[in-house]
Amino acid sequence: MTRILLRNKLDDCIAAWQKAGFSVLAPVKRHEMSSFGEVRKADEMALDLVLTERTIKDQFFPQTEPLIKYKIGKHQIDSETMTPPEKKRVFFGVRPCDASGLAIDDPLFGWDYKDDYWFGRRENSVIVTIACSQADDFCMCTSVKLSPDSTKGADVMLRPLSDGSGWQVEAMSDRGTALVETISSLLQESSAEAAPVPQVAEKFDVEKVMEWLADKENFESQFWKDIALRCVGCGSCTFLCPTCHCFDIQDEGDTYQGIRRKNWDSCSFALFTMHTSGHNPRNTQSTRWRQRIMHKFNYYQGKFGVNSCTGCGRCTRQCPVDMGITETLQAITNLPR
């Protein structure tokens, strides 16, 4: 027997979490864009999507975020740290690839300096993942050793029932256990079976990719110039990625006052590595594309023991020239050894 949550109890579920002090965020489709947004009723949720166009990462690492507000006086500088408000949040309906992205980025934001903005939001959030019941041609989670029902990064895992009436409920962490307890009266014991997860074919051999990237002789390979010919450097793949985390710090203001902000940046942009001298060590799109692939499947692996890709496929779905990471990794897999 397994505890299940029926779909017709979702409104009561949201109300219970709100009563416990949580805001509830779920997949929504607003202004022709699907993303995670706050909901008050179940009918606001877009749970039938394969994947939201915007990733859940946006809610933990905003595109732009104020860090410090300052005023410059005659004899001193007054500053105020602008920490984000502490809000308890439940993220309902997160896909396994998005939940995995948060777990993959945690070591980075806590590496040599603990990013209180990231971890403040992480510690006040509970991730309720729903195992995938469908996939499309862009999905590639199995290629990076994840799966449509991966529990990586999940506090609660929901598995859709075969008849579509609800979900099996399984707590995966202490936070998840505490959250499930707030709706225990809405759950019921059942022997109903979970629906099978979709079959996602492996599109490349990630071990071969990592082996090829680790060979220093391939760093200057003609392959990079050939594969990157279509790339226009728009950065959409990085901005839609659940794990990309590059940012810039900029001051906005005048002589007397201003705000220091953290803004998203991208290794796809020509200015990303531009030196003040005018020298740019990655002055071609092929070297920038090489950096993106090397970072995700070589550098990050070497530093944190995990690849910086969840296989969500957004980079390929939204690429204006139909490129994305998948094609590059397939090509590397098939290169003669």
Q: Give, as one character, the DSSP assignment of residue 100.
A: H
The angle formed by the CA atoms of residues 53, 304 and 55, to the nearest 5 degrees, is 10
SS (H, E, C) 30-84: ECCEEEEEECCCHHHCCCCCCCCCCCHHHHCCCCEEEEEEEEECCCCEEEEECCC
- Whether the model clears a pTM of 0.85, i.e. scores above it, the answer is yes
Rounded percentage of the chain residues whose pLDDT exceeds 70: 100
Tell me what pLDDT residue 85 has.
Answer: 83
Q: E-strand spans in 117-246?
A: 125-130, 156-160, 166-171, 188-190
Residue 162 has pLDDT above 80, yes or no: yes
* 8 Å CB contact between 60 and 118: yes
Tell me what pLDDT residue 247 has.
Answer: 95
Displacement of CA 249 from its chain's centroid (Å): 21
The angle formed by the CA atoms of residues 205, 291 and 285, to the nearest 5 degrees, is 110
Q: Give, as one character, the DSSP assignment of residue 156.
A: E
Residue 86 — pLDDT band, cuts 50, 70, 90?
A: confident
Q: What is the pLDDT of residues 124-157, one digit of tens each?
A: 999 999 999 999 999 999 999 999 999 999 999 9
Q: Which of 324, 311, 306, 337 is nearest to 212 (CA)?
A: 337
Residue 88 — pLDDT band, cuts 50, 70, 90?
A: very high
Average pLDDT over the chain, rounded to whole?
A: 95
Q: Can you tell me the distance from the alpha carbon of 38 to that of 21, in angstroms, rounded to the nearest whole number? A: 14
Q: What is the pLDDT of residues 187-236, one digit of tens each?
A: 999 989 999 999 999 999 999 999 999 999 999 999 999 999 999 999 99
Q: Which of 38, 37, 34 is nearest to 49 (CA)?
A: 34
